[in-house]
């Protein structure tokens, strides 16, 4: 039996900001300061994607200071 490939659920900066209850600027700051792992979208200046796993890790680290669900 071959390996099954699954795609990670991906979120935009805006979706993450809405989920966390912060501004998009705050999410960009978390990314730039290395607290939130994100991938640059090729060909889209300033555009990032954040995986569900990376968002969950960030939330569980409590770096954003609020109380949030561990899963959306």
**71: in domain:** no
Residue 1 counted as domain residue: no
Residue 2 lies inside a defined structural domain of this protein: no
User: Rounded to two decimals, what is the model's pTM?
Assistant: 0.74
Contacts for 12 with CB less than 8 Å, ≥ 6 apart: 47, 48, 49, 50
Q: Is 26 exposed, middle or buried (0-12, 13-18, 19+ CB in 10 A)?
A: middle
Q: Are 18 and 11 in contact (CB under 8 A)?
A: no
Query: What is the number of domains present in the chain?
Result: 1
Please, what sign has the CA dihedral across residues 28, 35, 52, 70?
Answer: negative
pLDDT tens sequence across 16-72: 999 999 999 999 999 999 999 999 998 878 799 999 999 999 999 865 555 444 433
> Is 68 within a domain?
no
Q: What CATH number corresponds to the domain at position 40?
A: 1.10.1660.10
Let me know if residue 47 belongs to a domain. Answer: yes
Domain hosting residue 34, numbered range:
10-61
């Amino acid at each position: 039996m071959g390996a099954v490939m699954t795609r990670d659920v991906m979120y935009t900066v805006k979706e993450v900001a809405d989920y966390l209850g912060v501004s998009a600027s705050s999410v960009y700051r978390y990314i730039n300061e290395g607290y939130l792992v994100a991938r640059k979208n090729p060909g889209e200046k300033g555009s990032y994607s954040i995986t569900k796993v990376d968002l969950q890790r960030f939330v569980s680290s409590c770096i954003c200071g609020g109380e949030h669900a561990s899963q959306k």
